[in-house]
Structure 1
Amino acid sequence: MADDISRIAELDFAGVTPEEFARIVKGLSGKQFTEIAEDGTLRGRILQEVFGRMERQFKPEAAASVTALIRWKITGSGGNEDVVYETDIADGTCVVREGQSESKPRVTLILADAEFLKLVSGNVGPVALFMMRKVRVVGDVALAAGLTRYFDIPKA
């Protein structure tokens, strides 16, 4: 198991396609998700890469009329703190930033590392996460349910 995590830790995430990333996430066990979440350095690298790709995977034509600040709160485990990113969609553009601004989000999604990675890799949908009570949604539930329309989500 540790060997699998070592291989993941050695990956150059910038060189991994979204589809390859989706397959990697699909193949992870619950224990491996826990190990990744508890390794602060690896967790940080993965989250930075995922959020770094959001702007490139944004579909402006699908979100042309959308104006929304989306706050993502990824809950920490193993002594790691919660991580917050914001996705600001307006005028057919998407800007992602780390940290919490003073602006009021239209929706906040609160979820653990494993659920977040499954969501952004296309291995689970937002409605399924909500129904399983694996994501807490504060604000515009309809926007949260349709978020995957605005991004090119890979399929594993």
Structure 2
Amino acid sequence: MTDFKPESFASIGPKEFAQLVKSTPDSKIAEVMGGPDRSKILDEVFNRMPTLFRADRAGSTQAVIHWNITGGPGDSTDTYETVIENGACTVTNEPVRDPKLAMTMDPVTFLKVVSGDGNPMMMFMTGKIKAKGDLGLAAQVAKLFDIPKA
């Protein structure tokens, strides 16, 4: 599969999604993520988070994380909330709790992070990811999920 279309995301697994992100030019990802299919793609990615969560690595972690994805239609930002508590992970696109960590990034950076195609620490150091709050948690977030490798 070589075409970056949201209709096909529901039918592919994390590894195939990772390969798709890796093989799609950044300009094409940015174009799609700035259009009407953006929320379908973000919803699909965030809806998978609880299934990729590694409770065995979370230990006693209790955290609310806000993911602010910029670059939407009309320069909008979408915010999703991930809650990790009691060995479980839940996600909503209607944040209601105060975050322990808030991360802001453009949609290309976000998809590279969640598909294992980018180094989150390097992206943070180069300013592609902005984090507010618990930076120790920021450094650990990727370890809490089974991130596919393309």
Shorter-chain TM-score above 0.5: yes
Matches within 5 A, 1:141-156: 141-156=135-150
TM-score normalised to the size of structure 2? 0.93
Aligned twin of 1:88: 83
SS in 2 for 1:15: coil
For residue 92 of structure 1, what is the amino acid of its counterpart?
A: G
RMSD: 1.4
Shift of 1:128: 1.2
Number of residues of Structure 1 aligned to a counterpart in Structure 2: 149
Aligned twin of 2:4: 8
Aligned twin of 2:50: 55
Which ranges in structure 1 are unaligned for 5 or more consecutive residues? Answer: none
Q: For the structure 1 residues 54 and 10, does the alpha-carbon distance in structure 2 shift closer, same or farther, using more than 3 Å as the test?
A: closer
Aligned twin of 1:68: 63
Q: Does 1:29 align with 2:29?
A: no
User: 8 Å contact 2:21–2:111 — kept in the other structure?
Assistant: yes
Q: Does 1:126 align with 2:147?
A: no
Q: Does 1:114 align with 2:108?
A: yes
TM-score normalised to the size of structure 1? 0.90
Shift of 1:78: 4.5
Shift of 1:94: 0.4
For residue 65 of structure 1, what is the amino acid of its counterpart?
A: S
Which ranges in structure 2 are unaligned for 5 or more consecutive residues? Answer: none
C-alpha distance in 2 between matches for 1:57 and 1:86: 16
For residue 148 of structure 1, what is the amino acid of its counterpart?
A: A
Q: Does 1:98 align with 2:93?
A: yes
